[in-house]
Amino acid sequence: MTYDETTLAQLTADAADIVGRYPVARSALLPMLHLVQSVDGYVSPDGIQFCADTLGLTAAEVSAVATFYTQYKRRPNGEYQVGVCTNTLCAVMGGDRIWEELSEHVGVGHDETTEDGSVTLERLECNAACDYAPVMMVNWEFFDNQTPESAKDVVDRLRAGEDVAPTRGPAKVCTFKEVSRVLAGFEDGRADEDQGPGAPTLAGLEAARAATAAAAAADSGRTEAQQ
């Protein structure tokens, strides 16, 4: 391994914290791979060896797990992982077009990274926000109800170094490495940041309230009509 002393000490301390969450050490492997990505920006050979050494596994066993999951990257990842949902619902609502225009605009295809290392593009599978279709995710934050223009604008601003807020989530999208550390189970103090729950999340609640109000109005309307 080529980690310097400080990095290795921090990794070791963080790994001990993760292992301590589970009754059996091997359960720490997935969060530890997120941890490796928070340091190296991908699942590096050093990171694989570190996980293997910590958990008493072989490097082959760790690689076998890492290659199964799409969030673990086998090459240095862009600072921003930009995914356009092209599963059926989002694709039909416009996701296919967003993908085509964004891919052409940025100049890279699926699972490819821009030369400046800022953006990795991905065609996403369903990200559980279908009521906000078409959806784009940047470093696993929600960008709801997208259009080709809005998607290109988000990516342009990120590449220009601006802070960009998702439509639901924290005040700004963090970097791939920062987000990977959260996914390893380390809080970053942003849980209370909020952009509001979004209209679809509240649609049923508001419809229920409207129905109740309408029923009350109908009652009072009848009373007034009788007077």
Partner 1 sequence: MSDAPATPGAGAGSAPAPDLVPVLSATWAEERSWSIDTYADAGGYQALTKALGMAPGDLIQAVKDSGLRGRGGAGFPTGMKWGFLPPDDGGPRYLVVNADESEPGTCKDIPTMMSAPHALVEGVIITSFAIGCNHAFIYLRGEVVHVYRRLLQAVREAYEAGHLGKDIHGSGFDLDVTVHAGAGAYICGEETALLDSLEGRRGQPRLKPPFPAVAGLYARPTVVNNVESVASVPAIVDKGVEWFTAMGTERSKGMGLFSLSGHVARPGQYEAPLGITLRELLEHAGGIREGHELKFWTPGGSSTPIFTAEHLDTPLDYESVGAAGSMLGTRALQLFDDTTCVVRAVTRWTEFYKHESCGKCTPCREGTFWLTQILKRIEGGRGTQADIQQLLDTCDSIAGRSFCALGDGATSSIISSVKLFREEYEAHVEQGGCPFDRAASALFDYDEAPAGATRADSDAPEEAHA
Contact pattern from residue 111 through residue 150 relative to partner 1, giving x for each residue in contact according to CB under 8 A and a dash for the rest: -x------------xxxxxxxxxx--x-xxxx--x-xx--
Q: Do residues 48 and 89 lie in contact, with contact meaning Cβ atoms separated by under 8 Å?
A: no
Question: Quick check: 65 binds partner 1 (CB under 8 A)?
Answer: yes
H helical segments located in 67-162 = 88-90, 96-106, 148-159
Nearer to partner 1, 9 or 105 (CB): 105
Nearer to partner 1, 153 or 188 (CB): 188
Taking the complex as a whole, the smallest distance from the CB of residue 58 to partner 1 amounts, in Å, to 13
The token pair at 128 is 């559980």
Q: Nearest 5°: phi and psi at 138?
A: -120, 120
Binding partner 1 (rule: CB under 8 A), the pick from 55, 82, 119, 158 is 55
Question: Quick check: 50 binds partner 1 (CB under 8 A)?
Answer: no
Question: Quick check: 188 binds partner 1 (CB under 8 A)?
Answer: yes
Stretch that binds partner 1, among 6-14, 155-163, 202-210, 217-225 (CB under 8 A): 202-210
Q: Do residues 155 and 122 lie in contact, with contact meaning Cβ atoms separated by under 8 Å?
A: no
Nearer to partner 1, 50 or 142 (CB): 142
Binding partner 1 (rule: CB under 8 A), the pick from 4, 5, 192, 224 is 192
Considering only CA atoms, which of 98, 46, 83, 43 is closest in space to residue 65? 43
3-state secondary structure at position 161: coil
Nearer to partner 1, 3 or 113 (CB): 113
Taking the complex as a whole, the smallest distance from the CB of residue 14 to partner 1 amounts, in Å, to 15
Tally Cβ neighbours within 10 Å of residue 153.
13
Binding partner 1 (rule: CB under 8 A), the pick from 14, 31, 84, 164 is 31
Q: Do residues 120 and 113 lie in contact, with contact meaning Cβ atoms separated by under 8 Å?
A: yes
Question: Quick check: 159 binds partner 1 (CB under 8 A)?
Answer: no
Question: Quick check: 41 binds partner 1 (CB under 8 A)?
Answer: no
The token pair at 216 is 């009350």
Question: Quick check: 68 binds partner 1 (CB under 8 A)?
Answer: yes
The token pair at 90 is 């989002």
Nearer to partner 1, 1 or 199 (CB): 199
Q: Do residues 77 and 113 lie in contact, with contact meaning Cβ atoms separated by under 8 Å?
A: yes
3-state secondary structure at position 41: coil
